[in-house]
Amino acid sequence: MKKLLGILSLVLASLVMGNAYAALPEITEPVFEKGDLVGSLTIGYGWGFSQRLALEYAVADGWLDGRASLGVGGALGNCFRSYGWGYILDELSLGAICSFHYQFIDKLDTYAQLGLGVGYAIYSWNDNYWGSYTAGNHAFFDFTGSLGVRYYFTPKFAVNGELGYTAGSYIMAGVSYKF
């Protein structure tokens, strides 16, 4: 009985997935296909004010009915936090990223991104009583995990947004350019 239920579940899931693909509109122009190089500049907020520059290269495409692709690349990020009483934290990170892209409709690129890297944190203090000094600087491992979207206004220019953890931020927005 369990085997029969398992087989029926697989058949039902296959039918539902087939209908889900059929319900999506046809894609006239892929937005992230093998050989594309996309650069993104984003700013965000989370633990502090963040900036990030990322480059991503499409290494494979054509998956899932021609709508999915895989990208790899790198990112340079900075997060600046000021605590108001003179305490400042400035982090710089460099990492490798890998992303899975899926295009639901024309001009819209949705993706999930993971990354690993290293960073360096600089702690400083500046006030009228103690003066200025730096202390506690250290290196750290950095992790990126986010869900993102890019909307292309032209074949090369897009606006983007990401939710997750990237360069010390939980929400980021910016622009992308396809080279």
Let me know if residue 27 belongs to a domain.
Answer: no
Q: What is the mean pLDDT of residues 152-178?
A: 94
- CATH number of the domain that residue 116 is part of: 2.40.160.20
Does any domain span residue 19?
no
In this prediction, residue 10 carries a pLDDT of: 54
140: in domain: yes
> For residue 8, what pLDDT is reported?
45
Q: What is the reported pLDDT for 3?
A: 58
pLDDT of residue 167: 82
**166: in domain:** yes
DSSP letter string, 39-63: EEEEEEEESSEEEEEEEEEEEEEEH
Q: Burial level of 175, CB count in 10 A (0-12/13-18/19+)?
A: middle
Mean local confidence (pLDDT), 58-74: 92
- Domain-embedded: residue 24: no
Sign, CA dihedral 174-139-72-164, equals negative
DSSP letter string, 128-175: TTTEEEE---EEEEEEEEEEEEEEESSSSEEEEEEEEEETTEEEEEEE
Total-model pTM: 0.79
Q: Number of structural domains, the chain?
A: 1
Q: What are phi and psi of 101, to 5 degrees?
A: -105, 145
Residue 137 pLDDT class (50, 70, 90 cuts): confident
pLDDT(1) > 70:
no
Handedness of CA 72, 73, 74, 75 (dihedral sign): negative
Tell me how far CA of residue 67 lies from CA of 27, 32, 108, 170, in angstroms: 8, 9, 11, 27
66 phi, psi to nearest 5 deg: 80, 10
Least confident of 26-35, 123-132, 153-162: 123-132
What is the predicted pLDDT for the residue at 130? Answer: 66
Token pair, residue 45, equals 């907020």
Domain that holds residue 118: 32-178
Task: Look at residue 16 and tell me if it is in a domain.
Answer: no
- The answer to whether residue 112 scores a pLDDT higher than 90 is yes
Domain assignment of residue 105, yes or no: yes
Tokens read off for 10: 């697989």
